[in-house]
Amino acid sequence: MNIWNPVRITWLHRANPVVKLFLVCSLFLMTVLTHDIDFVAYQALIFMLCLLALSGVRTWKMLLFFIPFLLAFISSSSSMMLFGKGDTVWWEWGLFKVSKESFYRGLHLGFKGIAFACEGLLLVTTTSSVDLFYSLMQKLKLAPKYAYSFMASIRLLPMVWEEYVIRRQALKVRGVVPIRGVRGAVNRAGMYVVPLLAQSIRRAHRVAAAMEAKRFDGDRGRRRTYFYPSRYSRYDLLTIALLAAAAYGAYAAAGHFPWFGIGDVRFD
């Protein structure tokens, strides 16, 4: 299931998924712990550029994916702007109170959201689930039963969708007339959820029995071989260097060319 369909293969595609996971987690940590609005704004900008350059996805397609970022920016920043704590009140109307502090904190949250999204997409656009689980098993010693359960379930999911379609057709053939309103919605949900879940449980159980018979659970025998071997390569070092440079670039830019220059946005 790859909806990204990259047109170029970049360094990031060639790096080991485990290395990418660690890198992205450390970038996440950096962004979580950033309370300086300039630094976060530059992080959002620079990782957006990294994403355009490194994801290998067509630029216009990636730009389309940026549209929801804008909506998220507005929704995550507006709540804090309108209801946040602050002393220098700019505007007050009923329950709304926009202060200087809450306004900038709202902006900060908007940028932060974009930075998180870009960092996450750096991993997601360049790594398939199968590659990730294989290297988690080999490099981080994740027990095979977890990895194979995830991989098998991902393959089973489209069948659940198929069953949903069949169920809908069956209800139509039987002439079930949908009831309007909230009651109808609850009633309809019940008509779908129970059979779909019951069937998923049955199917998952059958597949699992077959997999256990084939020793996919890896409970016995420490040594096993893998169809896709996962190795480290020089691309790991290149990727680490590149993203570290990007993070440092954001830090340096925030120090030299601050846009807001107000420092910490937290209220205390």
Q: What minimum distance in Å lies between the beta carbon of 66 and another protein?
A: 9
Considering the complex, state which of residue 54 and residue 118 has its C-beta at the smaller distance from another protein: 118
Considering the complex, state which of residue 59 and residue 79 has its C-beta at the smaller distance from another protein: 79
* 15 touches another protein (CB under 8 A): no
Residue with tokens 């950033």: 34
Q: How far is CA 152 from CA 17, 142, 161, 206, 207, in A?
A: 19, 16, 15, 12, 8
Considering the complex, state which of residue 186 and residue 252 has its C-beta at the smaller distance from another protein: 186
For CA atoms 129, 134, 136, 142, give the dihedral sign.
positive
Residues in contact with another protein, shown as a per-residue x/- string from 204 to 223 under the rule CB under 8 A? xx-xxx-xx---xx------
The whole-angstrom separation of Cα 40 and Cα 253 is 11
Residue with tokens 């409970």: 219
The whole-angstrom separation of Cα 22 and Cα 18 is 6
* 34 touches another protein (CB under 8 A): no
Residues in contact with another protein, shown as a per-residue x/- string from 154 to 193 under the rule CB under 8 A? x-xx--xx----------------------------x--x
Which amino acid would we find at residue 153? S
Q: What minimum distance in Å lies between the beta carbon of 190 and another protein?
A: 7
The whole-angstrom separation of Cα 52 and Cα 209 is 44
The whole-angstrom separation of Cα 128 and Cα 151 is 11
Which residue ranges make up the site for another protein (CB under 8 A)?
1, 3-4, 24, 28, 32, 65, 68-69, 72, 75-76, 79-80, 83-85, 95, 97, 102, 105, 109, 112-113, 116-121, 123-125, 129, 145-146, 148-150, 152-154, 156-157, 160-161, 190, 193-198, 200-205, 207-209, 211-212, 216-217, 265-267
